[in-house]
Amino acid sequence: MNRRKNQIGFSQRVRLEWLEITANLVLAGNDKSAINEALQEHLKDKVSVGGEAARGNREKIISILMTVWLNVPHEIEALRVDGLELLKHIPRPDRIAVHWGMVMVVYPFWASVASYVGRFLKLQGSATAAHIQRRMREQYGERETVSRAARRVLRSFIDWGVLSEKDTKGVYSQGLSLSIGDPQIAAWLIEASLYARSNGCAPLKDLVESTGLFPFRIKHLATESLLAGSPRLDLLRHGLDDEMVMLRMEDKPR
C-alpha cells in the first residue's frame, strides 16, 4: 500500500450509512454501473444538490465509497471478501468495525488522522482539530488541502459517533467505545491494521492497543483464535510474552 501513502484521497465527509448502502449493493451482486447509479440516486438530495460539476463533491464521495468496497487494490481483495462475509452475519452495531478497517486500509490518510486522534485521547482525554491538522500537515505537507481533508475526516468521525464535540468548537472527546469480543472480527481488524502498516508486521500488543483503532476495545485474543480467524497471518514468538504478528509474505503490502 506504499504507493498511496502520500496521497490524501479521502477528502470528503462520508457517513457510515453510505458505506453500509455501498456494501449491501455489492453483496446483492450489483455491478459498478448499477452501484454508481444507486448511489447517485441516494445522494442526489444530500450532497451537491443541483450541482452539475463533473467532479463535484457527490462524485468524489461515490468514488470513495466504491474504492472502499468495490475497487480495492489486488493485495487486499481477500480482506475485502472476508469483510463482506462478516457483514452478512455479524450484529449491526459491530459492522462499524469492518467499515472502519476497510477505510483505514484503503486510505492511509484516514488511518493517520485516526492514529493522532487516538494518541491525543489516550494522553490527555481530548483532541483538538488544530493539533490534528498541524500533525497532518507535518506528515503530508503544508497545504490547505491537507487541513481541509483532515477537517472532513474529523467530521466523518463525529458522524460515525466515534468522536463527540465538546462545548468548545474544535475540541473532541471519545464517543463510541465498542468492545470487540467476536474472535473473527478481532482477527479481521488485526489483519486490517497490518495492511495499514508499511511493513505488515507488529507486536500483537501494539496492534490490539493501536491508537488508530481508538473506537474499539479488542478483548483478550488467544493467538490460536487469531490465526484461525485469518489464513493470511503468521505468528512469531520471542519468549513467553512477546508475540509478533505478520502478514504472510505473499500478502504483504508492496
Residue 175, pLDDT score: 96
Residue 138 parent element (H or E): helix 129-140
Sites in the chain below the pLDDT cut of 70: 1-6, 48-55, 221-223, 225, 229, 239-241, 249-254
E strand residue ranges, the chain? 127-128, 163-165, 171-174, 178-180, 201-203, 216-218, 233-238, 242-247
Q: Is the dihedral of CA 243, 244, 245, 250 positive or negative?
A: negative
Task: Say if residue 88 is exposed, middle or buried (CB neighbours under 10 Å; 0-12, 13-18, 19+).
Answer: exposed
Task: Say if residue 159 is exposed, middle or buried (CB neighbours under 10 Å; 0-12, 13-18, 19+).
Answer: middle
Residue 1, pLDDT score: 42
Strands 178-180 and 216-218, sheet pairing? parallel
What is the CATH number that goes with domain 178-251?
Answer: 1.10.10
Residue 171, pLDDT score: 96
Residue 2, pLDDT score: 42
Residue 56, pLDDT score: 84
164: helix, coil or strand? strand
**Count of positions (residues) in the chain:** 254
How distant, in Å, are the alpha carbons of 10, 12, 104, 217, 228 from that of 222?
Answer: 34, 38, 24, 15, 10
Report the alpha-carbon distance of residue 10 to residue 4 in Å, rounded. 11
Q: Do the beta carbons of residue 199 and residue 177 sit within 8 Å?
A: no
Residue 198, pLDDT score: 78
Residue 49, pLDDT score: 56
Residue 35, pLDDT score: 98
Statement: the pTM of the whole predicted model exceeds 0.85: yes
With vertex at residue 212, the alpha carbon angle to CA 211 and CA 218, rounded to the nearest 5 degrees, is 75
